[in-house]
Amino acid sequence: MSNTDHNAVQTGLSAHLKEEIDHWLTKFPPERKRSAVLAALRAAQHENNGFLTAQQMDAIAEYLQLPPIQVYEVASFYSMFETKPVGRYHVSVCTNISCMLCGGEELLEHVEKRLGIKVGESTSDGRFFLKREEECLAACTGAPMMMVDHVFYENLTPARVDEILDSLK
């Protein structure tokens, strides 16, 4: 029996999420629950329309018996996690070197104009979040490119971008 600060009752995790976390837990030694944080956060963010709430992170911490701060650390470190409310579709336009040379920056400008927001902002209807991408998205052969959630769109033109954005409801 252990009597530490972090063994309170579990709250706030959906059955699906628990299943998902349990699945990942089987892949690590039992005393390495911390290893499952990343997978847990990904699943939680997915469930919550693209961003994490403090409650979700606390619930994950409780479930994995970790101090909450260790979950916050991971969530704030990785750019694929959002810890503030953002739009449903995460749109990132790559502006790293290959894309930049092929017009990525102009493409980004176009998207900003089209959505009426700057990088890092979300549209007021909650549809789009124009995410800052820190690094090359590894699709240089198809530059310029953009990523929407987990889907890559390559060899883009402004017209093609408009088409893609219009198709997202």
Single out the residue of 18, 19, 6, 9 nearest to residue 61, CA to CA. Answer: 6
- DSSP label at residue 39: H
Q: State the minimum distance, in angstroms, from the CB of residue 131 to other proteins.
A: 15
Binding mask 70-109 for ligand FES (x = CB under 6 A): ------------------------x-xxxx----------
Q: Does 4 bind other proteins (CB under 8 A)?
A: yes
Q: Which of 67, 113, 155, 162 binds other proteins (CB under 8 A)?
A: 67
Rule CB under 8 A: say whether 32 interacts with other proteins: no
Q: Is residue 9 a contact point for other proteins (CB under 8 A)?
A: no
- C-alpha 156/C-alpha 144 separation (Å) is 6
In the bound state with other proteins, the residue whose beta carbon lies nearer, of 80 and 164, is 80
**Which amino acid belongs to residue 4?**
T
Q: Could you give the dihedral angle defined by the CA atoms of residues 112, 117, 122 and 127, in that order, rounded to the nearest 10 degrees? A: -60
Amino acid (one-letter) located at 134: E
- Which residues are CB-contacts of 148 (< 8 A; sequence separation ≥ 6)? 89, 90, 91, 92, 164, 168
Residues 140-169 as x/- pattern, contact with ligand FES by CB under 6 A: x--x-x------------------------
Lookup: tokens for 85? 């409310």
Q: Which residues of this chain interact with other proteins, rule CB under 8 A?
A: 1-6, 54, 67-70, 72-73, 76-79, 134
